[in-house]
């Protein structure tokens, strides 16, 4: 379904944010299986935990 720019259902706030969204990143993540997405999230969380621990070691 094509939505015209003058369509009253078009939310101007959503349209303003759309320009800042990397749609290629969304597409690549949606191409992953749910298991792969969870694995990717777990890897990210592990990285954040290790960075937090490293920061604590540097700042006693």
Report field, pTM of the whole predicted structure over 0.85: no
CA distances 45 to 3, 20, 27, 40, 54, Å, are 38, 24, 21, 9, 14
Q: What is the pLDDT of residues 19-43, one digit of tens each?
A: 889 999 999 999 999 999 999 999 9
pLDDT band per the 50, 70, 90 thresholds, residue 54: very high
Asked if the model's pLDDT at residue 6 lies above 90, the reply is no
Domain boundary assignment for the chain: 32-60
């Amino acid at each position: 379904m094509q939505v015209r720019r003058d369509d009253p259902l078009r939310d101007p706030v959503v349209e303003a944010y759309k320009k800042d969204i990397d749609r290629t990143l969304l597409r690549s993540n949606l191409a992953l299986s749910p298991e792969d997405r969870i694995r990717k999230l777990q890897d990210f969380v592990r990285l954040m935990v290790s960075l937090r621990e490293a920061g604590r070691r540097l700042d006693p």
